[in-house]
Amino acid sequence: MNLPGSPFLSRDAGELCLDGHRLRDLATRFGTPLYVYSRRAMLAALAPYQRALAGRPHLVCYAVKANSNLAVLQTFAQAGCGFDIVSGGELARVLAAGGEASKVVFSGVGKTRDEMRQAIAAGVRCFNVESTAELEVLSEVAAGMGQRARVSLRVNPDVDAGTHPYISTGLKGNKFGVAHEQALATYRRAASLPGIEVVGIDCHIGSQITEVAPYLDALDRVLDLVEAIEAAGITLHHMDLGGGLGITYTDETPPGADTLIAALLAKIDARGHGHREVLFEPGRSLVGNAGVLLTEVMYLKPGEHKQFCIVDAAMNDLMRPALYEAYMGIVNTHERTEPGETWDVVGPVCESGDWLGRDRQLAVQPGDVLAVLSAGAYGMTMASNYNTRGRAAEVMVDGERVVLVREREKAADLFKLEKLVD
């Protein structure tokens, strides 16, 4: 069987292992639902980015929204990464994990004044500003603190990334960024504001992108703008080319990070911009195939039209299938010899949309532990407490070490901030 995440995901005598650790044993030890991550798989995914960028000014800023566990952030901080954040809470996480504020870029369309103050006080590297209105407010906040906020403008290049509409961000109809045709005027306004220091340009066209061509199309439009902006007398020190590189969930064949970056750098150099610092914001491609979600089979429910495999993980633990109809591989951690049957893998939440996989061929019995593959990104970060369900525990394996990096929530944890009416 071809398992996404190889060579860190493999079978040993029929038992599914992540980085050499038997997943069924981890489920027994820590309970289910359980997220398990491989630290070495994350670093292996980071390596081609760092190799491709070696020898030129650059910063790889891990996109915190993909997986914000402190141990994950610590892993990338220790590897020299910066961070792409979209909230004040994510900034607090980065700092708690040992990340440097000077390597943080603050993205997002709805930064509050309090978040701006927090980030300026911490000394973040720059704000990726997404509208003229935000620019005006940021200048006012920074000037009020006696500071100048360093900014790059996120430019919307109107390029179709060819991905799910919910995670496409570079089209005119998306909420993100400054329209390409308005960018020069917005840069002129930014340069005139007392609380703003222009330092770069930013572009991010979406997520789960599996082709190089959309990146190259967007880069051409960005470089056109860079030349126009500098001709207007505004200096740009860096280009932030975003993230969004996809992973293999089923049969996708995304380019390697080194292949993508080599193509982008070749175009940058050919157009005479090789001296500029380049930033990238990978998220899913660093952590997606480094993690799995383990869930125990509770009941098998045959039906006239459908057979249901009811497990203890639900849409509150893993939202992607319900939200995007995303396909994620599901396998039994214990390889059975009997023929498989067709099952819908569903959870206990009281919604018909509570499913993890439809029409899956599985040889399975109650008590078995299933692994939902490629669950390291946008799993735990999108989890909720719907139906007053505690969120899953998280474990990180690192060589021979197994570390519980987040305890399972208990019911009392979920309402400890609530008050009864006297």
Point out the residues that are catalytic: 350
Angle at 87 between CA 248 and CA 176, to 5 degrees: 65
Nearest alpha carbon to residue 253 among 208, 207, 205, 283 = 208
Collapsing DSSP to helix, strand or coil, 403 comes out as: strand
Amino acid (one-letter) located at 41: A
Nearest alpha carbon to residue 138 among 109, 107, 108, 117 = 117
Give one DSSP letter per residue of 346-357, joined into a string: E-SSSSTT-EEE
Secondary structure letter of residue 340 according to DSSP: P
CA distance 392 to 323: 19
For residue 193, the Cα-to-chain-centroid distance in whole angstroms is 33
The string over 99-137, giving b where at least 16 C-beta atoms fall within 10 Å of a residue's C-beta and e elsewhere, is bbbebbbbbbbebeeebbbbbbebebbbbbbbbeebbbb
Nearest alpha carbon to residue 326 among 246, 212, 242, 243 = 246
CA distance 343 to 362: 7
Give how far Cα 318 sits from Cα of 2, 332, 421, Å. 22, 18, 34
